[in-house]
Amino acid sequence: MKRRQAQRGGAIGAAIRTIFILALIAIAAIAALAYYIQKEISSDGPLADDSVIWVKPGMGVTDIAAMLVEEGAIKREEYFLIATKVRSADTRLRAGEFEIPAGASVLDIVDTIVSGKIYMHLITFPEGLTTNMIMALINGNDVLEGEVTLAPAEGDLLPETYAFPRGDTRDELIQRMMDAHDEVLDLLWETRAEDLPFETKEEAVILASIVEKETAVAAERPLVASVFVNRLRRGMRLESDPTIIYGLTGGEPLGRGIRQSELRGETPYNTYVIRGLPPTPIANPGRASIAAVLNPADTDYIFFVADGTGGHAFASTLAEHNANVAKWRRIERERANAQ
């Protein structure tokens, strides 16, 4: 009897030891797995370069995980699912585009999507574009959405670089450009010089559009503006070539030189023929050109011509101007002979 009891006791002890050993093995395995998973979700990820991912509205956690694997941002979907649990982020994931840096860990990606820091696209509109040209750029952008229903007039848009998220509409961007134009114009109008030869903001924009088309040199804008302001004060015609081109093409490139007959062409925009300002702007001027016409340089210049460097030579008298023109013609001939 005692022997059987001892045998049973030994068997129970062995079983307990076995269970204990198995439990230790299981705990060790779980700990090893947990360590492995923690390492996988917190270590650098597979992205070699910065990348932008798009979490579309309505995507669930598993959809996002699958998308991230497809984009090469994570190795396995399960890692993202676990990482969202670790961060308690299941219900806090945001829709939108997000910039993921190279080597971002799974936890980093979860944090980025939860943060709601949406990736912003940029679109730049150079100064001096016509409204039709700006509309073409907006319509050609494949991130903006929706049809254009707004119809801004020439000169109503402020050319700048604008940031916007995916999902913004074309009309929203156009409205922003119109609002920015009004804001800048209102601000600069309050600081305008006295005794300007025009009375309205609209006239200021018309003249600014001419200045914008005449020079791309920032330092010259106040000088060019002073020429036109001085001419208006004296009752002289502006004689601006870009106004001829706008009357002929609506602001599209002419593709050739202006003909003598076109200098005398009867269009509402030809400032070689009409006195004062044309009826509308000939482009969308930038902030600097608007500022230049509202505070032109204090000069007595009434002429300017190209100087061969990309800028212009300015003159106060016809004799000075004719000398500058002769220099420019000589430069043109030398360049033609060198070709």
Q: What are the residues facing 172 on neighbouring strands?
A: none
* Average pLDDT of the residues in 320-332: 93
pLDDT tens digits along 228-259? 999 999 999 999 999 999 999 999 999 998 89
Residues of CATH 3.30.1490.480 domain(s) within the chain? 51-115
- Domain at 51-115, CATH from 3.30.1490.480, 3.40.50.300, 3.40.640.10, 3.40.47.10: 3.30.1490.480
Residue 24 pLDDT exceeds 60: no
The reported pTM is: 0.83
Spatial CB neighbours of 101, under 8 Å, sequence gap ≥ 6: 47, 50, 108
Cα separation, 139 vs 145, in Å, equals 9
Least confident of 22-36, 64-78, 136-150, 172-186: 22-36
The CA-based diameter of the chain, rounded to the nearest angstrom, is 137
Confidence of residue 41 (pLDDT cuts 50, 70, 90): confident
Confidence of residue 29 (pLDDT cuts 50, 70, 90): low
Give burial (CB, 10 Å; 0-12/13-18/19+) of 254: middle
